[in-house]
């Protein structure tokens, strides 16, 4: 952090960026994050006797609804459609708990707002596509909407981005900024194959293009691995 490194070329292999939870688009969400809104469950006991609202319809949402139903005061699962994307056995168990009054499936609703003060949640507002609303009393909100990819500061380098990827010249792996290269999953061009082998080839192309920049007075001598052979022990 805060480093400044001088060089004649830079090669980025940042994958698809840093993975992080996908936050719901709710006004004032940041004030509740870490206090009443959590993207993961570290200790189940922290939710004992809490009124829990879970957003999502995948395995994380369903599995934690099952688990927290054993300790929470109440569990409500908010999902925008009747069909869940979780393991059928888990969904069947959740439906059984709903029949017993231990879990409430709030369908077809999506998260619409938060109510509370100083980061302490009091209720979660939910809404249907038709505009019907409900207010769910809650102490905790667990949004489970998968992961989002974030390029971080790379997105601010002024490079040509194409749907969170960096466009390059496949012959050199150079971006639209002179001396800056991208390889691997972060790089994109027409016909790109997302394979490890492709990433190796892109790295080789970048290295060959960078070499005369770093060593302008040297001739690059290289050999095929098949002709070089394997050194004797």
Helix (H) or strand (E) holding 34: none
What are the residues facing 10 on neighbouring strands?
Answer: 180
The answer to whether residue 1 scores a pLDDT higher than 70 is: no
First to last CA, the chain: 42
Least confident of 72-76, 139-143, 155-159: 155-159
Look at residue 210 and tell me if it is in a domain: yes
Look at residue 28 and tell me if it is in a domain: no
pLDDT value of position 230 = 63
pLDDT value of position 231 = 66
pLDDT (mean) for 169-188: 95
Average of per-residue pLDDT values in the chain = 92
pLDDT value of position 229 = 61
pLDDT (mean) for 90-114: 98
Q: pLDDT tier at 105 (50, 70, 90 boundaries)?
A: very high
Q: 72 and 169 share a domain? A: no
Question: Which of the listed residues 85, 114, 145 is the one where a domain comes to its end?
Answer: 145
Query: Would the CA dihedral through 34, 37, 38, 41 be positive or negative?
Result: positive
Q: 140 and 160 share a domain? A: no
Q: 49 and 138 share a domain? A: yes
Look at residue 24 and tell me if it is in a domain: no
Other Cβ atoms closer than 10 A to 154: 17
Tally the domains of the chain. 2
Structural domain boundaries, residue 69: 37-145
Q: 65 and 152 share a domain? A: no
Q: pLDDT tier at 93 (50, 70, 90 boundaries)?
A: very high
The answer to whether residue 223 scores a pLDDT higher than 80 is: no
Q: Which two tokens stand for residue 61?
A: 């949402």
Tell which wins on pLDDT, 223 or 184: 184
Q: 172 and 204 share a domain? A: yes
Instruction: Using alpha carbons, list the distances in angstroms from residue 187 to 10, 15, 81, 172, 177.
Output: 14, 8, 36, 12, 14
pTM of the predicted model as reported, rounded to 2 decimal places: 0.69
Look at residue 157 and tell me if it is in a domain: yes
Q: 124 and 186 share a domain? A: no
Q: What is the pLDDT of residues 199-214, one digit of tens each?
A: 999 999 999 999 999 9
Q: Which two tokens stand for residue 85?
A: 């994307």
Q: 113 and 80 share a domain? A: yes
Q: Give the CA-trace dihedral at 31, 35, 41, 42, to 10 degrees.
A: 130
Look at residue 230 and tell me if it is in a domain: no
């Amino acid at each position: 952090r805060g480093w400044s490194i001088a060089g004649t070329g830079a090669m980025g292999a940042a994958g698809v960026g840093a993975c992080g939870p996908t936050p719901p688009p709710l006004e004032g969400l940041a004030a509740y994050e870490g206090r009443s809104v959590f993207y993961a469950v570290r200790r189940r006991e922290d939710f004992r006797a809490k009124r829990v609202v879970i957003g999502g319809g995948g395995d994380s949402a369903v599995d934690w609804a099952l688990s927290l139903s054993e300790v929470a005061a109440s569990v409500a699962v908010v999902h925008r459609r009747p069909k869940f994307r979780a393991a059928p056995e888990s969904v069947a168990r959740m439906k059984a708990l709903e029949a017993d009054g231990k879990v409430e499936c709030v369908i077809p609703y999506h998260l619409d707002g938060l109510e509370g003060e100083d980061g302490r949640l009091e209720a979660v507002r939910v809404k249907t596509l038709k505009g019907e609303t409900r207010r769910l009393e809650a102490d905790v909100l667990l949004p489970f909407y998968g992961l989002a990819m974030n390029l971080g500061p790379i997105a601010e380098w002024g490079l040509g981005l194409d749907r969170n990827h960096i466009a390059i010249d496949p012959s050199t792996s150079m971006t639209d900024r002179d001396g800056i290269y991208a390889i691997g999953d972060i790089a994109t061009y027409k016909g790109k194959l997302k394979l490890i082998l492709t990433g190796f080839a892109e790295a080789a192309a970048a290295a060959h293009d960078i070499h005369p920049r770093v060593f302008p007075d040297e001739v690059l001598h290289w050999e095929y691995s098949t002709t070089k052979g394997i050194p004797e022990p």
